[in-house]
Structure 1
Amino acid sequence: MDLKGAVALVTGGNGGLGQRICHALAQEGAHVAVMYARSREQAEGVASELASQYHIKAQAFGCDITDGAAVDRLVGEVTKAFGRLDILVNDAAYNFAVPFADLDGLTPQVWNDIMAINLTGPMHLSKAVAPVMKAQGRGRIVNIASVAGLAPTGSSIAYAVSKAGLIHLTRCMAVALAPETLVNCVAPGLLDGTRATANLKSEQIERSASASLLKKPADKDDCADMVVTICRTETMTGQTVVIDSGRIFH
Structure 2
Amino acid sequence: MHRYGVRDVEKLLHLPRSTIRALIAAGFVSPARGPRSAWLFSFQDLIVLRTAQALADAKVPQRRITKSVRELRRHLPDAMPLSGLSICAVADRVVVREGSGRWQADSGQYLLEFEGDPADGSLSVIERNTAAEARTSAPEWFDKAVALEKEDTEAALAAYEQAIAADPALLDAHINLGRLLHEAGRFAKAEQVYRDAVRTCGSDPVLLYNLGVLLDDMERKAEAMEAYEAALRADPDLADCHYNLALLYERLERPKDAIRHMARYRALIGSRSN
TM range (shorter): under 0.3
Larger-gyration structure (1/2): 2
Q: Given the two structures, how large is their TM-score scaled by the length of structure 2?
A: 0.23
More strand per residue: 1
Task: Choose between structure 1 and 2: higher helix proportion.
Answer: 2
| TM-score, reference length from structure 1 | 0.24
Q: Which has the higher contact order (CA 8 A, sep 6+)?
A: 1
